[in-house]
């Protein structure tokens, strides 16, 4: 069975299981993310979405399974993968500036000990421009609003210039304008051939924003192009009975959907 696929998938997950002691958090996940797609990961609270992203990044011990990025394990291609953690996972009172946080995205390329210099600063400024935050470069990070924090995190991922972006709820708690700007940016990355896997919480916008989706609830319920995988039946499987709104959403299209 030594078949070489000429163009391996951006992300290939096989039999991934993560457990805390005997309680499985992720159970036997198989997932193929083709190169150049914008994929949402959706599922109810406690479905293991964040755990899934962390498992991909080798941030926690997996009980079983195999994860490959363009055919290689994570350690072999750190530089190709950018990570946007949940905004709430860091201390925004840390004494540092916006520009400094964005430059952290270059630390991986710099390696140990070498300090960021003029080139890193310029790239960080450029990334801030792309997220519309160039005027905030020297701001203390504790002065930022939620949406601005999210943009800074996004800029930090942009300076990595990665092939794959893993994002944990980048639209969590941002205002409508920021949401629009972030989505435009994600699409632009996709147009440039990047692959994006985005944990998303708002079922209403999945069909509008994303082209692929994975429905997750400890197990992978479904995955694939949105129009194939994002079906009422699959959603019912993922969310149980708590999605009465889906029928109307299904009939009327995403923009007319009623909030759950």
Applying CB under 8 A, which residues contact other proteins? 54, 57-59, 75, 78, 81, 83, 85, 89-91, 94-97, 100-101, 104, 107-108, 110, 112-116, 140, 142, 156
Residue 96 or residue 205: which is nearer to other proteins going by CB? 96
What's the min distance (Å) between Cβ of 65 and other proteins?
18
Please provide the size of the chain in residues.
260
- Distance between CA 170 and CA 115 in Å, rounded? 28
Residue 119 C-beta: closest distance to other proteins, Å: 15
Question: Residue 104 or 243: which CB sits closer to other proteins?
Answer: 104
Min dist. Cβ of residue 81 to other proteins (A): 7
As measured in angstroms, the least distance from the Cβ of 189 to other proteins is 18
Q: Quick one: 59 or 64, whose CB is closer to other proteins?
A: 59
* Min CB(180)–other proteins separation in Å: 19
Spatial distance between the Cα atoms of 57 and 116, rounded to a whole number of angstroms: 24
For residue 79, the minimal CB distance to other proteins (Å) is: 9
The residue (of 99 and 216) whose beta carbon lies closer to other proteins is 99
* Residue 220, token pair as written in the block: 């992978």
* 129 or 142: CB nearest other proteins: 142
3-class DSSP string for the chain: CCCCCCCCCCEEEEEEEEEECCEEEEEEEEEEECCCCEEEEECCCCCCHHHHHHHHCCCCCCCEEEEEECCECHHHHHHHEEEECCHHHCCCCCCCEHHHHHHHHHHHHHCCCCCCCHHHHHHHHHHHHHCCCHHHCCCEHHHCCHHHHHHHHHHHHHCCCCCEEEEECCCCCCCHHHHHHHHHHHHHHHHCCCEEEEECCCHHHHHHHCCEEEEEECEEEEEEEHHHHCCHHHHHHHHCCCCCCHHHHHHHCHHHCCCC
By beta-carbon proximity to other proteins, the closer residue of 7 and 91 is 91
CB of 243 to other proteins, least distance (A): 31
């Amino acid at each position: 069975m030594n078949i070489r696929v000429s163009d391996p998938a951006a992300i290939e997950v096989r039999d991934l299981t993560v457990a805390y002691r005997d309680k499985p958090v992720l159970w036997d996940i198989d997932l193929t993310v083709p190169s150049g797609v914008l994929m949402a990961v959706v599922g109810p609270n406690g479905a293991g979405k964040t755990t899934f992203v962390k498992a991909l990044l080798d941030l926690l011990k997996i009980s079983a399974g195999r994860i490959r990025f363009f055919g290689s394990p994570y350690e072999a291609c750190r530089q190709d993968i950018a990570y946007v953690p949940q905004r709430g996972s860091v201390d925004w009172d840390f004494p540092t500036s916006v520009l400094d946080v964005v430059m952290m995205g270059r630390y991986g390329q710099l390696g140990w000990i070498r300090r960021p210099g003029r080139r890193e600063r310029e790239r960080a400024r450029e990334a801030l421009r792309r997220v519309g935050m160039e005027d905030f470069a020297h701001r203390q990070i504790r002065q930022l609003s939620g949406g601005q924090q999210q943009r800074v995190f996004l800029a930090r991922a942009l300076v990595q210039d990665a092939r794959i972006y893993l994002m944990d709820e980048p639209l969590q708690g941002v205002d409508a304008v920021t949401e629009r700007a972030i989505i435009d940016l994600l699409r632009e990355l996709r147009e440039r051939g990047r692959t994006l896997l985005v944990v998303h919480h708002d079922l209403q916008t999945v069909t509008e924003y994303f082209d692929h989706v994975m429905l997750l609830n400890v197990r992978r319920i479904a995955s694939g192009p949105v129009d194939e995988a994002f079906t009422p039946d699959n959603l019912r499987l993922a969310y149980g009975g708590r999605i009465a709104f889906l029928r109307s959403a299904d009939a009327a299209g995403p923009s007319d959907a009623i909030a759950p």
